[in-house]
Structures are given as C-alpha cells and as structure tokens.
C-alpha cells in the first residue's frame, strides 16, 4: 500500500519533518519520511538549498492529517510571542496571506485569521471559501504570451551569431605572422 502514499508536507530540515511525523503518528496516521537528497553531491559544493524532507501519508488520510495539523496549530496560537513578525503586518498584508494560503504555512495562515479577528475584521468560513476559489481562478489563468520574447531571442541569437562569425573571420584573416626573430625564440623553448 506504499504506492498510495503521497507527499503531505515538505521541510528544509529533518528535525521539522520528524516533528510532524511524530504528531501524525500519535494520531494514528501512518507516515513515510522521504528525502530528495542525492546520494552523492555531484557539484562538490555541499549545496543543500534544494534539499527537502517529505512526510508522506496515505491519500485516504489527507483530510484527517489536515485536521490534526489545524488543531495543533490552534493550540499554539495562544502561546505566540507578541514580537512575532505577523503582528506588524497591515490588514491588507494579512488578507494577502489568506488569499495566498498555498504559499504560507498553516500556522501563519491561522494566525493571520486570529489577528484580523482581534482587529475587528470578520473572518468566516464563507469568506475563506471565496478566497480559495479566487486563488484557484488566479492559478488557473494561463501565463502571459511569451511569443514576443521567444522571437526576440531567435533574432538576437542570429544577429549575435552572424556578428560573431564576421568578427572571427576578420580576426583570422588579419592575424599577423610572427617575425623570424620571434620564431627563433620559440625554438629554444
């Protein structure tokens, strides 16, 4: 049944992934911890920027895991430090978090809701559902037309290539031959 397991969350560190794995395990959700670390660093640079640890779960447990994560997040909201960066956000920036919920973690999403509510703004399930629909519309739009950039790229490559050939030819034909004196110096080496 491992083939039914899909990525639930990704983390940059193993510690964060293990925390979620433990939380889900305590709530009877089976998990698999996976990473995308290559077996050998082919760049020899030690670059770990793109490395991600994934917590995978059975597709049928996805909603249950979401509910567990939301409940745990709501428990943490009351103990948040007042210096947390979201408290300095404007209402518009907090609404932006709600609109782009897929780009934010669950904690920040829930905290944005709480802050807006404390500031006297009404946040209800209907509004959140409409924001999700709006976000899906935005994501479903096709990208802008890239055709002019592609055409410009071909034109510049042809011009650059043609100019490069002309410059190379002129350098080749205008190359001076070394004098006899220079040739005799090379013989000693």
Q: Give the pLDDT confidence score for residue 86 in this predicted structure.
A: 92
Q: What percent of the chain has pLDDT over 70?
A: 69
* Contact assessment for residue 38 and residue 78, using Cβ atoms and an 8 Å cutoff: no
* Per-residue tokens: 106: 């669950």
Q: How many CB atoms lie within 10 A of CB 49?
A: 6
Model pTM score: 0.57
CATH topology of domain 1-71: Alpha-Beta Plaits (3.30.70)
Q: Give the pLDDT confidence score for residue 6 in this predicted structure.
A: 87
Domain ranges in the chain?
A: 1-71, 80-143
Low-confidence winner among 66-80, 114-128, 166-180 (lowest mean pLDDT): 166-180
Residue, of 159 and 32, whose pLDDT is higher:
32
């Amino acid at each position: 049944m491992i083939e039914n397991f899909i990525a639930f969350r990704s983390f940059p560190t193993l510690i964060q992934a293990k925390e979620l794995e433990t939380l889900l395990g305590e709530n009877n959700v089976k998990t698999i911890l996976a990473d995308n670390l290559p077996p050998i660093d082919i760049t020899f640079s030690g670059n770990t920027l793109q490395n991600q640890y994934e917590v995978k779960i059975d597709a049928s447990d996805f909603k249950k895991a979401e509910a567990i994560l939301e409940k745990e997040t709501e428990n943490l909201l009351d103990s948040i430090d007042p210096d947390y960066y979201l408290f300095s956000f404007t209402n518009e920036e907090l609404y932006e978090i709600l609109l782009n919920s897929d780009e934010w973690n669950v904690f920040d999403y829930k905290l944005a809701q709480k802050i807006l509510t404390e500031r006297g703004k009404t946040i209800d399930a209907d509004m959140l559902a409409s924001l999700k629909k709006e976000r899906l519309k935005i994501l479903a739009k096709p990208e802008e037309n890239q055709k002019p950039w592609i055409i410009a790229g071909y034109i510049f490559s042809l011009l650059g290539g043609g100019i490069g050939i002309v410059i190379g030819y002129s350098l080749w034909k205008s190359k001076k031959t070394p004098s006899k004196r220079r040739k005799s110096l090379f013989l000693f080496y």
